[in-house]
Amino acid sequence: KPQPVADFSTNLDEGCAPLAVVLSNESIRADTFDWNYGDGQTNTFSSTSDHDYTFQGQNVLNTYSISLTATHNLGCSDVKTDSISVYPEVFAAWTGSIEGCAPFETTLEYVGNNIELIQWNMGNGEYINSPEVTTTYNGQSGNDAVYTVGLGVMSEYGCSDMTDVEIVVHPA
């Protein structure tokens, strides 16, 4: 029986965590396929069908070395190795007060890391590009006023996240 040839391709070779990748097994003349994803996880398949794998990532850039060992039933094998770069996941996480009486002054602070760009939409027509913002909401006469504040962040790798929160201002 001729020597097996291990071969595979991926739909992505880099991206933001969690990174879902489709691995296409293109091996020939083999009966079992042993995958090592380079992150401590392994898998064995008996077919060349595509499969999905999600790389979780860390707080730093990680490059995972993926290997596929294709083995035929006589014990001969071949190995192919390739790599995937997984960028750190970012979160639009913040702290601060979101309810008070007019005039309500609040300070909101971004509490994540690995951020290149940050923008707050304060919900009152004000946009601020700073990790910490302080603003005053005047509210409405006789009724609670609700302001939707948005936070958007992006890392140097283009990974991004957004979140919205409602700020409630009670009448004075």
> Which residues in 56-85 are b (16+ Cβ under 10 Å) and which e?
ebeeebbebebbbbbbbeeeeebebebebb
Taking the model in full, what pTM does it have? 0.83
Between 10 and 113, the higher pLDDT residue: 10
* Mean pLDDT of all residues belonging to the chain: 95
Query: Using one digit for the tens of pLDDT, what is the confidence trace for 61-115?
Result: 999 999 999 999 999 999 999 999 999 999 999 999 999 999 999 999 999 887 8
Q: Phi and psi (nearest 5°) for 131?
A: -65, -25
- Going by pLDDT thresholds of 50, 70 and 90, the confidence category of residue 172 is confident
- Distance between CA 58 and CA 82 in Å, rounded? 20
How large is the average pLDDT for residues 119-143? 95
- Tell me what pLDDT residue 122 has: 97
